[in-house]
Amino acid sequence: MAAAGNQRVIVVGGGLAGLAATVRIAESGLAVDLFSVVPVKRSHSVCAQGGINACNEVARQQGYSEYEHFDETIYGGDFLADQHPVLEMANWAPKIIDLLDRMGVPFNRTSEGYRDLRLFGGSLFKRTHFAGATTGQQLIYALDEQTRRYESEGKVTKYEFWEFLWPVIEDGRAVGIVAQDMRTMQIRAFRADAVVMATGGCGLVYGKSTNSIICTGAAAARCYQAGVHYGNPEMIQVHPTAIPGADKLRLMSESARGEGGRVWVPRKKGDMRAPRDIPDAERYYFLEERYPKYGNIVPRDIATREIFSICVDDGLGVSGENQVYLDLTHRDPDYLKRKLEGILEIYEKFAGEDPYRNPMKIFPAVHYSMGGLWTTFTPGSYNPAQARHKHKSGSPAPIDAKVGQGMQLGAINNAMTNIEGLYAFGEVNFAYHGANRLGANALLSCLFDGLFCGVSVANYVRNAAPSKAPAESLPAAAYERVTQQEEAKVKNLLSTVNQGNYDEKTNAYVIHRELGVEMTTACTVVKSDARLRQCQSKLGELKGRYANVKLGDAAGWTNQSLSFARAVGDMLLVADAIALGSLERKESRGAHYRTDYKDRDDANFMKTTLASLKPETRDVSVQFVPIDASLILPEARTYGKVAADATSAAKQPVAAGV
């Protein structure tokens, strides 16, 4: 029955991480069942615009190295990431670019035909590869094509429009999932020897964000409820530049700044002149003035906070509203069209203004979740006796970029959660980005997980899982139990239909809207003890109302309200974890900024926030666990800011050579 040929892996989520895992695992000879709530080609990865980072020959000959990429990522993440995995990711990056290139990704080219590069936040070297302004779309299409190829060869089975409901865990080991067909509404269990969660971020917890409508975080929340730890929930990246909108906040890629975009506001408060009528002297290029070295390409959290503060604290927002100019009008339109057409078209389409001639109006928006399901790893062979100081930019790297120095290739616990056989790849895990993700590192981490940690999954299934009870031979009871649990949930929700009239208090859409507003105000750019406690009580109120949620649709066919209402319950739990993590982390680090604890506190908080749910009370608890910081010593993260206030000036010299 359980012959080697019957070993299966379930991959949940068909974004870049899920597809990379699918391809890698299928290639190793294991059957893959791929689950996605949308056709995988429509996953949220399509929204990544700017590019993908990797050391390359040009940068290398200018003094750049994989090691420096590693260093930048750690520094950019404000020393919260476990360091060994990041080293391995940076070392692998060039291989990933080569592979994508072979898959046919139309990377932009130099006139001689080599891959072109652009400058991106957090680096002084051009190390970002890009395909027009829709790099994420191009990457996921390449993986989608390879997946389709394996699908047509019978190695991969796709379950599109299937929603993951719960992991099946038997004896502490993941042995399958329960999922629901979103059309027929059938709920059934699927067996597997390992399960890979690659379900992305949780932007919808914030109502409007730059995320796709499918990024509820519900799948991760369900694993979390089933006992998986959640790491650094409070680390939510707010992207500095987004286009305000009624249904979502659309990303204006960092590449707009990378290609010379300048951020400014009128120096005079309430200046209502058209932007082109405001002379240069009367424009406040606040990022350039405050960060002369990096200027407009400071990392995201810094740009976000500066834009937020210029509008909210200084009241200098354009037209008195919460918005600043992102100006590309000084660049040659043909150049812009070639490099940025895709994103500028989005602006034109949704804002109704021509960005080639008028500065764009932008404001920060929730963008990425650095936190996520907590995962483990086996450190690689590079273990210096003592952690080194921050790498001097452009100086020779202390080590080469050989495979296995950061993480041990194929070790079965790489990217595995605290549940054996349950892996988390891509944005859904908490690894690599620490307290803040560098631009163009997200696509990289997704692909790295899929390709590098995919080997771990295959090894686990081959070498470790069969020594226990292979999924195929397990008794059906474990699967039936979870199926029944989920069926009961659905029955319960459906039974609320037609119980009384429309009531805002118990309407899932209204609860979600209020959740979004609350989380955006309390848990994004600036946080404080008082506001977070207020947020917690609001969440308590929302959870109370959700307990009586009423559905508007009893249909047994394509019932979207059911899926949505169910997800709102999960989002509320993620929100809980975010709020508690934010409250307990009494420091400021990366994307997490506390007005009452403005400084980084390495002694107490250079640790992972580990959130877990008490199954009985469904209450969240957090603890802080040590991180792997054995490679680089922490250092103040200033990006060479011109000291404006005494505290930061006194505390450390400007980070040398960043």
* Positions marked catalytic: 300
Q: Which residues pair with 372 in a beta bridge?
A: 231
Q: What is the CA radius of gyration of the chain?
A: 24
Q: Which is nearer to another protein, 345 or 635 (CB)?
A: 345
Other beta carbons within 10 angstroms of residue 416's beta carbon come to 26
Nearest-angstrom CA–CA distance, 428 and 22: 16
Beta strands in 279-394 (DSSP E): 283-284, 324-327, 360-369, 372-373
Compare residues 83 and 135 and give the one whose CB is closer to another protein: 135
In sequence order, what are the residues at sequence separation of 6 or more whose Cβ sits closer than 8 angstroms to the Cβ of residue 446? Answer: 15, 16, 17, 20, 45, 198, 425, 426, 427
Shortest Cβ 65–another protein spacing (Å): 18
HSE-up (13 A, CA, CB side) for residue 606: 21
Q: What letter does residue 590 receive in the DSSP assignment?
A: T
Q: Which helix (H) or strand (E) segment is 375 a member of?
A: none
Q: Which two tokens stand for residue 475?
A: 């008794």
By C-beta, is 248 or 566 nearer to another protein? 248
Residues in the chain: 658
**Cβ-proximal residues to 173 (8 Å cutoff; 6+ apart), any chain:** 419, 420, 421, 465, 468
Give least dist CB 467 to another protein, A: 27
> Which residue lies nearer to another protein by CB, 284 or 546?
546
Amino acid, res. 618: R
Question: Which one, 39 or 384, has the nearer CB to another protein?
Answer: 39
b/e for 485-518, b at 16 or more Cβ within 10 A? ebeebbeebbebeeeeeeeeebbbebbbebbbeb
Phi, psi of 284 (to 5 degrees): -105, 100
Dihedral sign for Cα atoms in the order 370, 371, 372, 373: positive
Nearer to another protein, 299 or 426 (CB): 426
461: which DSSP letter? I
| Residue ranges with strand state E in 497-606 | none
Among residues 15, 287, 253, which one has the least CA distance to residue 131? Answer: 253
Closer to another protein by Cβ: residue 43 or 445: 43
CB of 100 to another protein, least distance (A): 8
Q: Which residue has the tokens 């009239």?
A: 501
Q: Residue holding tokens 């009008």?
A: 329
Torsion sign across C-alpha atoms 288, 290, 291, 296: negative
- Angle subtended at Cα 398 by Cα 396 and Cα 399, rounded to the nearest 5 degrees: 115
Smaller CB separation from another protein, 497 or 649: 497
Please identify, using beta-carbon distances, which residue of 28 and 630 lies nearer to another protein.
28
Q: CA of 561: how far to CAs of 1, 292, 294, 469, in Å?
A: 40, 50, 47, 38
| Cα distances (angstroms) measured from residue 619 to each of 239, 418, 516, 522, 612 | 30, 19, 20, 20, 8
Q: How far is the CB of 8 from another protein (least distance, A)?
A: 20
- Please say which residue, 329 or 638, places its beta carbon nearer to another protein: 329
Look at residues 579, 570, 580 and name the one whose alpha carbon lies nearest to residue 549.
Answer: 570
Q: How far is the CB of 281 from another protein (least distance, A)?
A: 28
- Locate 451 and state its tokens: 């390709």
